[in-house]
Amino acid sequence: MSTKQFPIIGTKSSLLWDEDTDAWTYISGKPVQPNNPRAFYQVIPTLYRGVDIRANAIANLPWALMKGETEYETSEEYENKEGLVSNMTTMLYLIEASLCLAGSAYWKREKNAAGFQKLRHLDPTSMELDEKKAASGIIEWKRNEPQPKIYTPDEVIYFWYPDPYVEIGPPSSWPVKSALHACGVLANLDEFAKNYFGRGAIKAMLFSMQGASQSTAAEFESWWNKFITGISNAFKTKVLNAESVEPVVVGEGIKELENVSLSQEKRDEIAIALSIPMSILFANAANYATANQDKRNWYDDKVIPESKFVASILNEQLFEPLGLRFVFRPETLDIMQEDEKERSMALGYLYNAEVPLDIAMRILGFELNDEDWKRIEEQVEKKEERAEELVGNLTGGGENNNGGGAAFQPENPVQKPDAMQEKGLIVDLEKWQRKSKKRLKADKSPAVTFESDHIPATLGAAIEGALEEASTEEQIAQVFSDIWLGYP
């Protein structure tokens, strides 16, 4: 029975080779183990790109630092007036990257040479929470730099993902941790390919030798090890003093790596864990229209909620005590502006179809405060009252009725409806519509000018302006069916 030897360090024995030993003090973080987020982040391109995409999305969101209702700082014109963060874009990037990779992020409060406070990013794996104190509501961290030092929330701004299984402290699960198994498969596939070509693209094998002395076997083993160390040795020969040498293949070759579906499946799992659509993570995964819509949905479902989480922590721990408020402004992004333009067009179509303005805006998801909604509803009510009054006048029931209960007739004969004029208006509008559709089929703008003696100038200008936004035959038909309905 073998006996282990334990080296004595001070008054305590420790196993020097134990991965969890306390015999060593790590100044800049523990050694990277092969099966953790840091190691995979360094060698798996899909994971690196996914984390980079998420971090860049948060870092490049427009934002404003508000003092009351006044803009104190903005992302467009950042001056670092408080002297806290010299590069806000980089710091926001590091927050999101740390949350993805470690489930937590930390900013350290420290003073510069002039005595002013500033904030510095910390390696999230370097902060060790005192779990016993945390259970009683006291938050303290230990960090080696190079000597162990204790930090409190007065010195550190901390970001922890919410976790239903953790009451106080960093989460037990986070995006990249949930993808570790998929990352392990991809890392091992890459390692296998690297080793395979590193030994000259030769499969792993054993050798059976007959009639060879021990010295000949040792010589062959030495030669074989050199032979498989790279492609430069692939064509060298060796003469042996043996009756026979029979190789026995025990490993696989590069052909076994042709399981593309397995690799793709694991990459998809990484994308799912990071909540990134395939069309964004893999540039060739969809056409432009699908990718653009996926990106818009991704901002709604993930980026914007994530930005609100980050902003809430910054406000609670940093800016609110200074009388400031940090807000992201994703609505100013180009992709959001395009959506607003489409919503505005849809609002115009609904309104022209006689859908009340307030109902149309609610259908399309416009976000207004209570005061704005009240103002719009009042305008809708006034419009309905004016319409009822006009109907009453025309049917003889209004105050302006000239008697007899008959429909109101204008005193000026020129104002009376002209059947021929109305028929000419309809005919010309139909001609104009056909002309617009014909130009659209010829890949030209449907917004063509149409000369008519029956279409009033104001109506013609309105139609021509609406046609500039039309890109399909259905939209052209919508313009002509709604814009002149009930005119004048």
State the Cα–Cα distance between residues 294 and 277, nearest whole angstrom: 7
Instruction: Please give the Cα distance from 182 to 176 (Å, whole number).
Output: 10
Question: Does the pLDDT of residue 467 top 80, yes or no?
Answer: yes
What's residue 13's pLDDT?
Answer: 52
**For residue 473, what pLDDT is reported?**
84
Q: Report in angstroms the alpha-carbon separations of 396 from 197, 399, 404, 409.
A: 95, 8, 8, 10
The dihedral over CA atoms of 398, 404, 406, 411, expressed in degrees to the nearest 10, equals -80
Cβ atoms < 10 Å from Cβ of 423: 11
pLDDT at 234: 43
What does R_g of the chain's alpha carbons equal in angstroms?
37
DSSP secondary structure code for residue 297 in this structure? H
Number of Cβ atoms within 10 Å of the Cβ of 12: 9
Span 283-303, pLDDT tens digits: 765 565 577 788 888 999 999
Q: 280, 291 in Cβ contact below 8 A?
A: yes
* pLDDT computed for residue 33 by the predictor: 55
Residue closest to 64 by CA, chosen among 53, 50, 78: 78
Q: Which residue has the higher pLDDT, 417 or 77?
A: 77
- Return the higher-pLDDT residue of 253 and 474: 474
d(CA 270, CA 29): 26
Mean pLDDT is highest, among 70-79, 277-286, 329-338, 387-396, for 70-79
Question: For residue 282, what are the CA distances in angstroms to 47, 99, 276, 430?
Answer: 12, 22, 10, 47
Q: Which pLDDT belongs to residue 404? A: 46
pLDDT at 391 over 80: no
In this predicted model, which residue has the larger pLDDT, 281 or 17?
A: 281
Q: Mean per-residue pLDDT for 64-72?
A: 92
As a whole number of angstroms, the distance between CA 148 and CA 169 comes to 20
User: pLDDT of 223-250, one tens digit each?
Assistant: 656 655 544 444 444 444 455 556 555 4
Percent of the chain with pLDDT over 90: 30
The enclosing H or E element of 157 equals strand 156-160
Most confident of 131-140, 345-354, 469-478: 131-140
- Position 343 pLDDT exceeds 60: yes
Grade residue 341 by pLDDT with cuts at 50, 70 and 90.
low
Give the integer Cα–Cα distance in Å for 377 and 97: 45
CB atoms within 10 A of CB 77: 7
**Listed residue (320, 325, 440) closest to 64, CA to CA:** 325
Tokens 């162990």 locate to: 148
Q: How far is CA 365 from CA 74, 327, 340, 353, in A?
A: 27, 21, 11, 18
Q: Which of 247-256, 269-278, 359-368, 382-391 has the lowest mean pLDDT?
A: 247-256
Which of 241-250, 261-270, 408-417, 457-466 shows the lowest per-residue confidence on average (mean pLDDT)?
408-417
Short-list 182, 170, 390, CA closest to 273: 182
pLDDT at residue 185, rounded to an integer: 81
pLDDT at site 354: 62
Find the largest Cα–Cα distance for the chain: 132
Residue with more model confidence, 413 or 249? 249
Name which of 57-71, 103-117, 414-428 the model is least confident about: 414-428
Q: To the nearest 5 percent, what fractions of the chain are helix, strand and coil?
A: 50, 10, 40
What pLDDT sits at residue 205? Answer: 58
Which tokens sit at 272?
């799912």
Q: Which residue has the higher pLDDT, 160 or 188?
A: 160
Ranking 59-63, 77-81, 146-150, 347-351 by mean pLDDT, the lowest is 347-351
Place of tokens 């980026």: 303
pLDDT range class, residue 318, cuts 50, 70, 90: very high
> Which three-class secondary structure state does DSSP give residue 202?
coil
- List of residues 6+ apart from 8 with CB closer than 8 A: none
State the pLDDT confidence band at 314, using cuts at 50, 70 and 90.
very high
C-alpha 438/C-alpha 473 separation (Å) is 9
* More confident call, 58 vs 458: 58
The two tokens of residue 444 are 């030209």
Residues 6+ apart with CB under 8 A from 60: 89
pLDDT at 403 over 60: no
Torsion of Cα atoms, 129 then 135 then 136 then 142, to 10°? -10
Contacts 24+ apart (CB under 8 A), 209-214: 209/240, 209/242, 209/244, 209/245, 209/246, 210/242, 210/243, 210/244, 211/242, 211/243, 211/244, 212/240, 212/241, 212/242, 212/243, 212/245, 213/241
State the pLDDT at residue 123.
Answer: 95
Nearest in space to 29 (alpha carbons), one of 107, 100, 124: 124
Q: How far apart, in whole angstroms, are the C-alpha atoms of residue 441 and residue 170?
A: 60
